[in-house]
Structure 1
Amino acid sequence: MSDTLHSLQTRRSVAIPALQAPGPDADQLAAIFTIAARVPDHGKLAPWRFVLYRGDVAVRIGEALAALAESREGPLSELRRDVEAKRFSRSPLVVGVVSTARPHVKISEWEQVLSAGAAAMNLIHAAHALGFAANWVTEWVAYDEEAKAILGIGADEKTVGFIHIGTPGEPPQDRPRPLLSDIVTEAVAPTGRP
């Protein structure tokens, strides 16, 4: 079996609390983003971008998100406030994958969004190949315009997801996967006249 097939077969999402330091260093991040950008991209539009949340900035963003939630809901419980405040500092690195899809004369926005999703998955595979683990989430902040502004995501952009990356603190566990017979079919030729 090739190294590539082995890597694809062994990649698993790891629970965010199990993602520990260290995260990728600068050279590893350069490799991860170079691989993330190697996806189908009709028209060479690069209809995606990446935002890194880490360190003190991630802590300050979490505090701003907690304050936003509190401004809408009133005082938060201690547990809820802690969850919101640590939303972007639960792992060594969080990468926001952002779709910048726009109307284009030849390339549909849908194809551009799919390219951004492919970039997110390539990013996860690259992190795994370098010995890290990842978890792709969205949560409420991906869809809330005020939260997106706090996160540096424009109103005209869509959040593909937030990918938490770190060193796995426990062996990744597999989950049940669909039966191939449930998800793979053969095409059937039409009958009769078109």
Structure 2
Amino acid sequence: MKTDAALINYLSTRRSMPAFQMRGPGPSSTEIEVMLKLASRVPDHGKLAPWRFIVYRGNERERISLELSAIAKAKNPALSEEMIKVEETRFSRAPVVIAVVSTAAPNVKIPEWEQLMSAGAVCLNLLMAANAHGYVSNWLTEWMAFDERAYPILGVKQTEKIAGFIHIGSTDFPVVERPRPELADIVTWVGQE
């Protein structure tokens, strides 16, 4: 069997970069389109494409951040000044934020669970597509993915769910490895080789 050493090396060192450590430049419109094409090449039983993308760029990120922070403050009036600043910059930390929105719905042949997993696969592919273009990335959800009051601000319909927000940009920070689980703790072998 032929192996792809470059791909194996990438997968063995792949690491997300915290969004607050990102800066510009971000990807161009052309690069984003290529990333989205690559991201959509996932298992998708029934060819339903049970997901879609929303690309947040430019000044809209600041507007969205401020509108979301108003919801966060209303939910928690005792929010500290530090957390208010965090809320006010949710979408402006990285130059580009892409929402992967699950449009999963009941289907006669394809369980909703499989459709949701397909959206998760899109998120991971998008991280890898961003990395392949030389950018750092991070897959986040955070409270606004689960609070339907935020959906109109984000452009998400009430019948949809947010699989993740993929933050994409550049960085000056070193990519640091984090602890990974031991295989013995996460693998069950059934049968003999």
Name the TM-score, length of structure 2 as normaliser.
0.92
Look up the match of 1:156.
Answer: 159
Look up the match of 1:131.
Answer: 134
**Does 2:25 correspond to 1:22?**
yes
Look up the match of 2:15.
Answer: 12
User: Against the structure 1 CA distance between its residues 74 and 179, is the aligned structure 2 distance closer, same or farther, given a 3 Å change threshold?
Assistant: closer
1:85 to 88, 107, 132: 88
For 1:100 and 1:136, the matched residues in 2 are separated by 18
Q: Which amino acid aligns with 1:146?
A: R
Q: Percent identity?
A: 50
Look up the match of 1:116.
Answer: 119
User: Aligned-pair distance for 1:6?
Assistant: 2.0
User: Aligned-pair distance for 1:81?
Assistant: 2.2
Look up the match of 1:192.
Answer: none
Q: Post-superposition, which runs of at least 4 consecutive aligned residues in structure 1 deviate over 6 A?
A: none
User: Aligned-pair distance for 1:54?
Assistant: 1.8
For 2:56 and 2:92, the matched residues in 1 are separated by 8
For 1:70 and 1:103, the matched residues in 2 are separated by 35
Q: Which amino acid aligns with 1:55?
A: G
Q: Which amino acid aligns with 1:15?
A: P
CA deviation string 1:45-92 (max 9, x = no partner): 000111111211111111111122233333754322221111100111
User: Aligned-pair distance for 1:188?
Assistant: 4.9
1:100 to 90, 103, 109: 103
Report the number of matched residues.
Answer: 189
| Secondary structure in structure 2 of the residue aligned to 1:146 | helix
**Does 2:50 correspond to 1:47?**
yes
- Which has more radius of gyration? 1
CA deviation string 1:130-187 (max 9, x = no partner): 1111111111101001012211111111111111111122121111111112122212
| Secondary structure in structure 2 of the residue aligned to 1:60 | helix
**Does 2:49 correspond to 1:32?**
no
| Secondary structure in structure 2 of the residue aligned to 1:50 | strand
Look up the match of 1:64.
Answer: 67
| Secondary structure in structure 2 of the residue aligned to 1:6 | helix
RMSD after superposition: 1.6
2:168 to 150, 165, 169: 165
**Structure 2 gap ranges (5+):** none
| Secondary structure in structure 2 of the residue aligned to 1:168 | coil
| Secondary structure in structure 2 of the residue aligned to 1:82 | helix
User: Aligned-pair distance for 1:10?
Assistant: 2.2
Contact 1:12 1:174 in 2 (8 A): yes
